[in-house]
Structures are given as structure tokens and as C-alpha cells.
Chains A and B, each alone.
Chain A
Amino acid sequence: MYDFDYLRASSVTEAVAAVGGTDNGRFLAGGMTLVPALKQRLASPSLLVDLRDIEHLRGLTIDGTSLDVGAMTTHAAVEESVEVGRAVPVLAALAATIGDPQVRNRGTIGGSIANNDPAADYPAAALGLGATIITDRRGITSDTFFAGMFDTALQPNELIIAVNFPIPHRAGYAKFRQPASRYALVAVLVACTSAGVRVAVTGASPCVFRHIAMEEALEENFSPRALNNIDIDAAELISDMHGSSAYRAHLVRVLAQRAVAAAR
């Protein structure tokens, strides 16, 4: 790991200005992705701006129609929240599948969404539930936020403040874990929202995506059977040592059906 300067910001303004004042400064949240990247010299920022003391970035707020999750809220806090369990149970269940207990004690939703790992869980939640990503300067809909592999609509020093999830009528998540990394080999989130049925797939391709044909079929008939004859195009999917694209295509359908069956 190359050395770097470290700043612990006490406000959003200070954090954004500090990263903006460098060529390659980075925000530091839980560090569960960034610290391993530093160790492998995949990243060598001149400055790390630690967000841990910015109170404004923490916490869960629920009103009648939506749930706001502060960027620095840990996976464990979402998993354990009684309010989240009641309002958006799928989110608490999804958080509980991430990594292991120690990763969940540190990793944050803001870090996960900003990183947009192709196999990460929260991008499926944000896209599937139709969330809005609130930053220091604007709100970005999830439909335009996830731009590509490890790529998002964020500008270099743009800070995620919170993720706003509209509360779905019901939703389910089914994940097939890659047992060594515990990331998703494939996972699917299915939601009945006031804007219609949404289906988000992670792990299967370089970036989380919506499956429109499955959405249309479930709009007609919200049952696992409705997906029996949907064509999943393997050509668009990842092939690697853990699974071929044909295997992933099969998983996409099976997991979507399980997610429908699990929806509540």
C-alpha cells in the first residue's frame, strides 16, 4: 500500500471540498472495498477523506411512502433495524446476505452503491425498488445511476448523502452466493411498486440491469409460473470460472421465480 494523506471530515461541505481540491482524493466509508484495493495497489489516492464523523450521513428515516437510508449506515444496521424489517423487509433480508458479520459491521450502503461492483447486492435493491440516490448536489434516479462496470453517474467529488427507497407493495430477493466470496453469482430482486413491477438482476452481467420482459410478464400475472417461458439471453451475460453464461441465464430465471415466491 502506498502512503497517502488522511483527513477526517466533520461536514459534507468539508468532505466535498477536500476531495475536490485533489486530483485523485477519495472518500473513505467502511473501507471494506477501498482498503483491499489500496493494499493491492489497485488504487493509490493522494488523500483519503474519512466520512465516519459526519453525523448527517447516518441513520434511517421512514415516512409513509419512503425509507431514507443515510450513506454511512452499515449493512448490520439495516439488517437489524426493526423499522426496516417492518417497512421494507426485503432490504433487511438483502443486507443480511452481504459478506460476513464483520464485513456487515463496517460496510456501508453509500460505499456499495458508489462502487457498483457487478456482483454487489445493494445495486439490485436500488434499481429494483426504484430508489433515488441523494447526493450533495442532486437526486439521481437509479435508472440512470448505474452506468457500467464499477461506473456510476457520480462526478469525481460528488458525495452520496442517502438512498431514498419508495416503499414497495411487496418485494422479494433471491441470491445464489458465490461461496468463496459470498458476493452474488446471480441475484434477483422483484418488486411490486406503485410504478409497476420491477425486476433487477445483479451478478449476471457487467452491471446491474432491469429485465423488461420479466417485468411485463409479472405485471400480467405476479406468480413464479408467469416466468416459465421467458427467454433469458445468455449472450449478454458473464462467463467465468464460477459459471458459464448459460448457467447464469438459467439462474436468472430460477432466482426471479424464487424472488416472486418470497415476495411480501
Chain B
Amino acid sequence: MIAVEMTVNGQPAAANVEARTLLVDFLRDHLKLTGTHRGCDTSQCGACVVHLDGRSIKACTLLAVQASGSKVLTIEGVAPGTTLHPLQEALREHHGLQCGFCTPWVVMSALDLLQRRPDPTEQQIRDWLEGNLCRCTGYSGITRAIATAAATGTTRSDNS
């Protein structure tokens, strides 16, 4: 067992885990933050995307111990309380979700894009979504929602 400690959504989190524990399992099983999903478990689908020190990463392909000492932001930390983040609001508005399984990655991945490119073109948005799968709504609504959130210009997340 090995000690890991990190800041998750602004709160300190510490535990003793096996070195082989993945970050996605640490978040879900130890911290009960189940908004981060495990989809493919092979770095393909993006269901597990969270921010590590401000950049989006796949939590199924990172050991929890690799994140020790870092800041992690999960979907639960994006809009604490009952008011949706403007990007979440835009996803609702533009029918960017149907079953909702992939929505956490859409939000976490798009926030990373908008931090780096506050005003992306449609092509840049579509390119960015590569490696992140949605199998029911499709990408048109998601793309429109991200473009709308970019236009409102209030997309920075606090904890990253």
C-alpha cells in the first residue's frame, strides 16, 4: 500500500491504496465521486476525463499515485450547488445529451479546449472531440453547445 494525497475539487483527499489503483477507481470507489465514468477502460472513449493540474486527462490510464500532489477537478467540482455551468446550460439548450453517460467528459474536455482556445472554430471543436465517444446524441448538438458556451465567454472553471 502506498499513501496518496491530492486536492480534489478544492478539498484535500488522502488514502492508502495499492500502487496499481487507477485514478478513476480512486475517485469512484474511495471518494464516491461517481460522475467520472469508466467506459472502455482502454483509453479510447473519454468517459473518464478529469482535469489534472488544469489539463484534461483520461483517469483510466493514470495511476492514482501518479496524481499524488496534484490538483484534480472532476465533473462534481465544475458547478457546485444548483446553478449549472454555462457549458452545461448550453448542452441542455442544444440537445447535447440524451442518455448522459458521456456528458461528464464532454464538459471536462470542452472546458480544457475553451481555456486554451476561448474562441474555437467549428473544425477546432470537432477535432478536439476526437478520442471522446458519444454513441447516442451524436456530435452536432455537442459542437453547437460548445460554440455557444464559447460565445458567452464565461467558461473558465475555478479549481483548475
Partner of A105, one of B19, B56, B132: B56
Docked complex Cα distance between A170 and B71 (Å) = 40
Known: A102-B56, A102-B57. A36 touches B43 (CB 8 A): yes
Interface class of chain A by DSSP: mixed
**Once bound together, how far apart are the Cα atoms of A231 and B33, in whole Å?**
58
Q: Does B155 contact A (CB under 8 A)?
A: no
Q: Which residues of B contact A105 (CB under 8 A)?
A: 52, 55-57, 112
Verify if B62 is at the interface (C-beta below 8 Å from A): yes
Interface string of B45-76 (1 = CB under 8 A from A): 01001001001111001110110100000000
Neighbouring B residues of A101 by C-beta, 8 Å:
56, 109, 112-113, 128, 130-131
B99 CB within 8 Å of chain A:
no
Q: How far is the CB of B59 from chain A (nearest CB, A)?
A: 9
Question: Are B130 and A31 neighbours in the complex by a CB distance under 8 Å?
Answer: no
Interface residues on A, range: 20 to 34
In the complex the two chains form, is A102's CB within 8 Å of B109's CB? yes
Residues of B whose CB lies within 8 Å of any CB of A are: 2, 18-20, 22, 41-43, 46, 49, 52, 55-58, 61-63, 65-66, 68, 109, 112-113, 116, 128, 130-132
Q: List 14 A-B contacts (CB under 8 A).
A: A3-B19, A6-B19, A6-B63, A35-B22, A39-B41, A99-B131, A100-B46, A100-B132, A101-B109, A101-B112, A101-B130, A105-B57, A106-B57, A106-B58
A-to-B contact residues, CB < 8 Å = 1-6, 8, 28, 31-32, 35-36, 38-39, 48, 50, 52, 76, 80, 99-103, 105-106, 182
